[in-house]
Structure 1
Amino acid sequence: MPIPPGSPSELRRLTELSTILIRYGFGDLLRYAGVDQILEKAGELLHRGKQEQVADEPAPVRMRKALEEMGPSFIKLGQILSTRVDLFPQEYIRELEKLRDHVPTLSFDKLVVEIEEELGRPLKEVFERIDIVPLAAGSIAQTHRAQLKTGEDVVVKIRRPGIRGVIEADLRLLTRIARFASRRFEDVARFHPEAIIKEFANSIHSELDFAIEGRNAETIATNFSDDPDISSPKVFWEWTNEMMNVQAFIDGVPGSDRDAVDSSGFDKKVIALRGANAVLKMMFEDRFFHADPHPGNVFYLPGNKIVFIDFGMVGQLSRQRRDEMVDLLHGMVERRADKVTEILLTWADADAKQNLQLESRIDAFIDRVHGVALDRLDIASLTRDLFSAMRDHDLALPSDLTLMAKAFASLDGMGRQLDPEFDMVEAARPFLRRQMLRRYAPDRLARKAREGAAEGLDLVTGLPKDLKKLLQMAQRGQIRLGIDIVQMEHYLDRIDRSVTRLTMAIVTSALIMGSSMVMSFSGAKLPVGLSVFAMMGFTASILGGLWLIYTTWRSRGGGGRR
């Protein structure tokens, strides 16, 4: 089943992407997906140039380089895939995490054309000054330092012109390919490629809309309004919109500058603990968290204060998901492999009967972890091992949990960089204990009881209406009853064989009786034809009897059960 033909621009883009993949040694992937046939049918020419000299480079490195060359959409896709520890081995994850937007800066005059059209005025009427040399340049935006007319120092993030159209076109192409792959290949479908692309589309749409990033920053700031040690930059909403984000300039030490952090006199143990507590609070209490808290996304201020920046990628957990995560960790502490396995299968929407070996794998995993001193546990490694077990059993995680796993790994790495003795398990312990206690607090139990009673009342009051609908559907002939009996085909086959033997037995008996009657004429001289017929009847009856004995013997196990 080929992909439906796309627009000429989509086909040209597909040709361009295919050429890049071939150069990096992924031509087999294209043939497996049937892309070469699609392009040939569309009349597009696929340039099968020589592969680059990458034979000595491992596949993860070649994948990263190919994604970088394929453009901003695929760089962002690779960054999303770097969170999917449940889908990719660790060597791929490490390489995908290196994906950064290494793009040349855009001339400031070209950068501001769209934003000035959006504002309806030139930027010089908004800012007292703006540096034309960018602080940073990415595939989606550039950031510049500026000063408002009111005197505040700010950072201005401006979206590159035309980037939305490029990304939207790539998203349409990726969606079509994902749909095609999931329908054509069963081993691809179980990883839900369409869901991955949908997750990616949601993420990149959020990054394209800088107003969403501003709202994320404000949500985090509100959640930490009573904590003077944790903050995020102020958003200037008068000038913030989809294409431009204006936030307060943070005059602090960037977490990525290790030399500056070391020389500034910060207490790195305190910073590590405060950062961990902040992210854990986001996850387990606020259920809205920074999904990539690596050193490049934090600043440190005097007094060991922390400022989080860049809220383009955030995660959000439902109460149920948060409770399941607490149950999972508690099950590991209590050595309940059955409970841990049940939660993992629920997350993956999998059938427990098809994953009976997973519980023994989880049991061995828990045994390996138990008894290890807390300060020797590596939570990032534990997360990878746990999700590796899921990957080996073809189980995939929901997107909100993969972002949580990514945040855990980033947080653990940042904490150990600041403090080699940083203990993520010990930092998480108080939050898990509080959540376990809160689950059985009187107000929580009362709320669950009210919710259960309300659902029961809705069911009872809605029953007459549902029954009326059911009767109306029955009267219109819209109800079909389907019965699925296990091993029905096996039983039907056995019945068919029994009927065949019974029929053969009747025919054999009839042959014996008929032949006997013909031969019973004593003294009578039978015609030659009739005597031959009688002998043939006896012979057929003997053969039929032998066949009945043989098949009956086999069906009872003499020759193996059938």
Structure 2
Amino acid sequence: MFKNIATLFRLIAIARVLARHDALAALEEQRLVPGRLAAIAIWSGRRLSKRNVKGRPGQKLAAALTELGPTFIKLGQFLSTRADLLGDQLAADLSHLQDQLPPFDGAEAKKIIESELDGDLDQLFLSFDPTPISAASIAQVHFAETLEGEPVAVKILRPGVEKSFRKDLKLFYSLATLLEKARPSLQRFKLHEVVSTFHDTVRLEMDLRMEAAGACELGDNFKGDFTYDTPDIDWERTAKRVLTMSRIEGISLDDRDALIAAGHDLEEILTTAAAIFFNQVFRDGFFHGDQHPGNMFVGDDGRIVAVDFGIMGRVDKTTRYFLADMLIALLQKDYLKLAQAHVTAGMIPANQSVETFAQALRSVCQPIMGKDLSSFSFAKMLGQMLHLAESFDMIIQPHLLLLQKNMVMAEGISRGLDESLNLWTISQPLVEEWVVKNRGPEARIKEGLSTLTDSIETLPRLITNLETASEMFSQKGLRLHSKTIQDFHQESSGTAKWAFIVAIASFTFSIGFAVNFIFFYS
């Protein structure tokens, strides 16, 4: 199971940290601690447990993950999307996990910059503040000024973080195997896929060139839209471990008092934010994957500015159509149609009763949909829908987790600014317009015509291939490899030989018929 003794000792050390923070209870409640294998670590760790540790189980777990370091902080944030696995309260507590660590030394930051950009710091920047303005698990940010006098923010990867993540990820894969073996019921959660998705996310986040590319793509998608902005990337001063971008200023999106004091209209801000989020997901299929308030600011002119593009999400057209069909079914309160959309998307196995699943969806959605939209909680409905997973063997789609997390974040920001306003109420006209345009009758006819056009475009190639095949057959006959003929004569019974002859005749007739049919109707 574990590749070496060092890994086993690492597991014991982790269990002891969890125990000191009295965080094991949170995992035990969810039956995520394989008792026999972890019993010694749990027992010894609890002897060292801090006395009178206060807080909810999720808050204790968040504290333990913070002590365990960068990989575990990121894992906790990632798992905050898995309310189906951890429960609503535990997932909510982990969503508040602060990605803050003590900064590394400014001299080390200078060394990394010079190594990555192949030059002395004085040749790259007019000034560089050695004290970072923020320090997170993967990187920290310093203010600087370019030789041209432009104020910039320089993001620098934390030294040794890549090696640390590689080591911990090996452990996570081993733990996924261990949990699935100890708790077979967890197999439906695709723990290996969850770890793999987390692996891919972190791997991309640790290449700051990918973050730069994400910022550029997002900026290009909103080119000409003056409600949303992203920092400009200084590519000459950007490498794998260093990212230089224009410095932005603004008020944090969740700072209600400061926004009001600055004269901003909260409803207008929420309307703008709703349109931005909607356009990223549905129009472009490319969205900022970590839209917490610390990454979103409001400029003096009212535009929303984003930072930190290490985590980006993509939603393909098929998934967007699935989400649209879900929204249509919800608005129409057609729970059978909603259930069928889940089956079509592969989220519910075909052996499950669609009608019974529709009834279960009604039990979850009806009480919420029956309320006024201003009090509608997507987060609450989403959490309850995920609780249906266990009884219906729902297959959790890893690629939707990031989108779900950001929808919950968006709702939290909305309610924090003004409880009387609701992001989904504001978004409703945008949703309805997009649905009609992309999933209405005219759109489906257009889609069908597009498919037909694609088929027609391939027809000349089909005709050419059939002509070639017909010509070759008429001139040379059907030619088989000599080894095939030899094997056929040696091994085939009389019946098999006749079946083979009939098959060849049918194949020949089919080619001739197809060619004649095409030429007759062309």
Q: TM-score, normalised by structure 1?
A: 0.75
Match status 1:427 vs 2:439 = no
- Aligned residue in 2 for 1:204: 202
Q: Is the 1:144–1:157 contact (alpha carbons within 8 Å) kept by the matching residues of 2?
A: yes
Q: Is the 8 A contact 1:82 1:93 kept in 2?
A: yes
Query: Are residue 436 (structure 1) and residue 436 (structure 2) matched?
Result: yes
Pair 1:264 & 2:262 matched:
yes
| Structure 1 position 137, deviation (Å) | 0.9
Q: CA deviation at 1:13?
A: 2.6
The code of the aligned residue for 1:235 comes to I
- How many angstroms does 1:340 deviate by? 1.3
Query: Alpha carbons of 1:383 and 1:454: their partners in 2 closer, same or farther (altered >3 Å)?
Result: farther
Find the counterpart in structure 2 of residue 63 from structure 1: 61
Distance 1:319 1:263, change over 3 A: same
Matched, 1:32 2:31: no
TM-aligned CA deviation for residue 455 of structure 1: 9.1
Conservation of the 8 A alpha-carbon contact between 1:10 and 1:169: no
Residues 454-500 of structure 1, C-alpha deviations (whole Å, 9 max, x = no match): 899999989x9xxx99xx8x9799xxxxxxxxxxxxxxxxxxxxxxx
Q: How does 1:403-552 map to 2 (within 5 A)?
A: 403-433=402-432, 434-439=434-439, 440-441=442-443, 443-451=446-454
Task: Work out whether residues 348 and 392 of structure 2, in 8 Å CA contact, stay in contact via their aligned partners in 1.
Answer: no
Deviates more, 1:374-383 or 1:123-132: 374-383
Give, in whole Å, the separation in 1 of the partners of 2:336 and 2:103.
Answer: 54
Partner of 1:374: 373
Q: Report if aligned partners of 1:86, 1:395 keep a CA contact under 8 Å in 2.
A: no
Distance 1:377 1:217 in 2: 32
Contact 1:145 1:155 (C-alpha < 8 Å) held by counterparts: yes
Contact (CA 8 Å) 1:191, 1:396: kept in 2 or not?
Answer: yes
What is the one-letter code of the residue matched to 2:371? V
- Are 1:10 and 2:26 matched, yes or no? no
Tell me how far 1:25 sits from its aligned partner. Answer: 5.2
In 2, distance between residues paired with 1:79 and 1:453? 49
User: What SS does the aligned partner of 2:104 have?
Assistant: coil
Distance 1:409 1:457 in 2: 50
- The structure that has the greater radius of gyration is 1
Alignment of 1:256-295 (within 5 A): 256-295=254-293
Which deviates more, 250-259 or 304-313?
Answer: 250-259
Residue in structure 2 matched with residue 533 of structure 1 by the alignment = none
Q: Could you tell which deviates more after superposition, 24-33 or 396-405?
A: 24-33
Tell me, in whole angstroms, the C-alpha distance in 2 between the residues paired with 1:31 and 1:325: 35
Partner secondary structure for residue 86 of structure 2 = coil
Moved more, 418-427 or 230-239: 418-427
Q: Which residue of 2 aligns with 1:239?
A: 237
Q: Distance in 2 between matches of 1:291 and 1:366?
A: 26
Tell me, in whole angstroms, the C-alpha distance in 1 between the residues paired with 2:422 and 2:375: 8
CA distance in 2, matches of 1:359, 1:391: 15
- Corresponding residue pairs, total: 463
Aligned counterpart, 2:388: 389
Tell me what 1:342 maps to: 340
Deviation at 1:33, TM superposition (A): 6.2
How far off is 1:413 after superposition? 1.8
Q: Which moved more, 1:440-449 or 1:146-155?
A: 440-449
1:270 partner SS: helix
Alpha-carbon shift at residue 335 of structure 1 (Å)? 2.1
Q: Distance in 1 between matches of 2:164 and 2:325?
A: 43
- In structure 2, distance between residues paired with 1:15 and 1:379: 39
Secondary structure at the counterpart of residue 227 of structure 1: coil
Deviations 1:182-226 (A, max 9, x none): 245311211111011011111111211111111111111001002
How far apart are residue 19 of structure 1 and its match? Answer: 2.0
**What is the Cα deviation at residue 230 of structure 1?**
0.9
Structure 1 residue 349: deviation in Å? 4.1
Cα displacement (A) at 1:346: 4.7
Per the alignment, residue 106 of structure 1 pairs with: 104
CA offset digits 1:320-351 (Å, max 9, x no partner): 00000000111112222122122334556432
Q: Give the distance between the partners of 1:154 and 1:55, measured in 2 at CA.
A: 42
Q: Relative to structure 1, is the Cα distance of residues 90 and 184 closer, same or farther in structure 2, using a 3 angstrom cutoff?
A: closer
Q: Which residue identity is paired with 1:146? A: A
Corresponding residue for 2:50? 52
Q: Could you tell me how far 1:47 is from its partner in structure 2?
A: 6.4
Taking the aligned partners of 2:371 and 2:344, their CA distance within structure 1 comes to 28
Correspondence 1:153-302 to 2 at 5 A: 153-302=151-300
Determine which of 124, 140, 143 is the counterpart of 2:141: 143
Q: What is the letter of the counterpart of residue 448 of structure 1?
A: T
Amino acid at match of 1:14: L
Q: 1:418 to 1:362 in 2, by over 3 A?
A: same
Cα shift at 1:93: 1.6
In the alignment, what sits opposite 2:94? 96
TM norm structure 2: 0.80
- The unaligned stretches of length 5 or more in structure 2 are 470-479, 492-522
Aligned-partner SS, 1:158: strand
From 7, 12, 20, the counterpart of 2:17: 20
Distance in 1 separating the partners of 2:87 and 2:334: 26
Contact 1:87 1:396 in 2 (8 A): no
Contact 2:254 2:416 in 1 (8 A): no
Asked if 2 retains the 8 angstrom alpha-carbon contact of 1:297 and 1:308, the reply is yes
Alignment CA distance shift 1:376-1:139 (3 Å): closer
Secondary structure of 1:421 counterpart: coil
How far residue 146 of structure 1 moved from its aligned partner, in angstroms, is: 0.6
Letter in 1 for 2:447: R
Verify the 8 A CA contact 1:87 1:391 in the aligned structure 2.
no
What is the SS of the residue equivalent to 1:86?
helix
- AA matched with 1:13: R
Q: 1:317 aligns with which of 293, 315, 318?
A: 315
Name the CA distance, whole Å, in 2 between partners of 1:422 and 1:58. 29
CA contact 2:32–2:179 (8 Å) conserved in 1: no
CA distance 1:81–1:454, shift in 2 (3 Å): farther
Q: C-alpha distance in 2, partners of 1:78/1:453?
A: 51
Which residue identity does 2:364 align to in structure 1?
F
Contact persistence 1:236–1:247 (CA under 8 A): yes
Residues 338 and 100 from structure 1, CA distance in 2 versus in 1: closer, same or farther, beyond 3 angstroms? Answer: same
Q: Distance in 2 between matches of 1:175 and 1:80?
A: 15
SS at structure 1 position matched to 2:235: coil
CA contact (8 A) 1:191 1:394 kept: no
Shift of 1:265: 0.9
Matched residue type, 1:435: V
Residue identity over aligned pairs, in percent, reads 26
Report the CA distance between 1:68 and its aligned residue: 1.4
Q: Which amino acid in the other structure matches residue 15 of structure 2?
A: S
Q: Whole-Å Cα distance in 1 between the matches of residues 84 and 353 of structure 2? A: 16
Evaluate the alpha carbon distance shift between residue 61 and residue 301 of structure 1 in structure 2; reply closer, same or farther with a 3 A threshold.
Answer: closer
| Per-residue deviation, 1:394 | 4.4
Residue by residue over 1:372-402, the C-alpha shift from the partner in whole angstroms, topping out at 9 and shown as x without a partner, is: 3222322332322322333554424212222
Contact 2:282–2:320 under 8 Å retained in 1: yes
Give, in whole Å, the separation in 2 of the partners of 1:126 and 1:204. Answer: 28
Give the Cα separation in 1 of the matches to 2:309 and 2:401: 17
